[in-house]
């Protein structure tokens, strides 16, 4: 009985120390906004009043970011419902690239580490907003010229949210699932040859039904790291 009581006091003391912050070390941190810049408007429209009692700012959520491995200072972001954006000056200013494409809902974004030109961009479309609202799920938006023009890949196979992407040379691995509403089922992990993206018979489903979209997504992340290291 005495031993159990002593253990309880020890645990309570540990919990109190953690709550009080005694077991944590504070680090000075400084964050700088990298854009894109927020929009301004009336509170009734932007649902914010951080400027005045009647006006505020609002910005879309960022789902993915990829840094160009070839061209210094160039990076791309994929917004939840705002398309793909590009910066060529380290984030000081941004340019939208996909405003005229079929979908502005970007669920994943990647570049091919074997592409010596740094021009090839792959953006998986899909719904990741917790409101479960978004644009069409049209597969993968692909650009071979750093975002100037786009085409669709895998749209005959990928009909759900493409939540993860890795591209290496002639192969695309895509994780497809519905992170906001996983009970809808379907999806999976797909292997797509880049020279046969429009031939659904050449697309292989590596995982039947991505039960846990996280499993598929983490698999793609691991492949992405391995792909980058091998380049």
End-to-end CA distance of the chain: 62
Q: Whole-model pTM?
A: 0.68
For 189, the 3-state DSSP assignment is strand
Cβ distance 104 to 126 under 8 Å?
no
Q: What are the two backbone dihedrals, phi and then psi, of residue 39, each rounded to the nearest 5 degrees?
A: -95, 155
- Token match 């031993």: residue? 3
Element (H, E) at 25: none
pLDDT at site 212:
44
Q: Which ranges of 69-212 would DSSP assign to H, the alpha helix? A: none
Q: What is the DSSP letter of 23?
A: T
Q: Given this model, what pLDDT does residue 173 score? A: 85
Three-class secondary structure assignment of 147-159:
CCCCEEECCCCCC
Longest Cα–Cα distance of the chain, Å, equals 74
Fold that domain 45-230 belongs to in CATH? Neuraminidase (2.120.10)
What is the secondary structure of 122-137 as a DSSP string? Answer: EEEE----TT------
Q: Supply the pLDDT for residue 23.
A: 47
For residues 16 and 18, give the distance between their C-alpha atoms in angstroms, rounded to a whole number. 5
Q: How far apart are CA 71 and CA 157, in angstroms?
A: 32
Evaluate the omega torsion of the peptide bond into residue 25 and state whether it is cis, within 30 degrees of 0: no
Q: What is the pLDDT along the chain (231 residues), one digit of tens a residue?
A: 444 444 443 333 433 333 344 445 666 777 666 666 667 788 888 777 888 888 888 777 888 999 998 988 999 999 988 899 999 999 988 999 999 999 999 999 999 888 999 999 999 998 887 667 778 888 999 999 999 999 998 877 788 888 888 888 878 888 887 777 666 666 677 777 666 555 555 555 555 544 444 445 555 555 555 555 455
Query: In 3D, which of 192, 163, 185 has the Cα closest to residue 176?
Result: 163
Q: Supply 192's token pair.
A: 């797509």
> Residues 216, 221, 222, 223: what is their CA dihedral angle, to the nearest 10 degrees?
90
> What is the distance between the alpha carbons of residues 23 and 15, in angstroms, rounded to a whole number?
10
Helix, strand or coil, per DSSP, at residue 3: helix
């Amino acid at each position: 009985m005495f031993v159990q009581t002593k253990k309880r006091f020890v645990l309570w003391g540990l919990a109190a120390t953690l709550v009080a912050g005694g077991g944590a070390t504070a680090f000075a941190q400084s964050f700088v906004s990298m854009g894109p810049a927020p929009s301004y408007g009336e509170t009734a429209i932007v649902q914010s009043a951080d400027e005045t009692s009647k006006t505020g700012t609002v910005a879309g959520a960022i789902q993915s970011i990829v840094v160009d491995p070839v061209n210094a200072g160039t990076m791309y972001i994929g917004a939840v419902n705002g398309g793909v954006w590009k910066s060529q000056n380290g984030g000081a200013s941004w340019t939208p690239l996909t405003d005229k494409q079929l979908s502005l809902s970007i669920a994943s974004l990647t570049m091919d580490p074997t592409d010596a030109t740094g021009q090839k961009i792959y953006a998986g479309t899909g719904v990741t907003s917790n409101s479960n609202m978004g644009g069409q799920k049209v597969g993968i938006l692909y650009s071979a010229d750093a975002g100037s023009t786009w085409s669709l890949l895998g749209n005959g196979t990928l009909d759900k949210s493409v939540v993860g992407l890795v591209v290496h040379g002639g192969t695309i691995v895509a994780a497809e699932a519905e992170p906001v509403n996983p009970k809808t089922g379907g999806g999976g992990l797909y292997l797509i040859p880049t020279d046969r993206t429009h031939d659904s018979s050449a697309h292989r489903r590596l995982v039947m039904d991505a039960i846990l979209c996280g499993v598929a997504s983490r698999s793609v992340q691991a492949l992405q790291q391995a792909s980058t290291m091998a380049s």
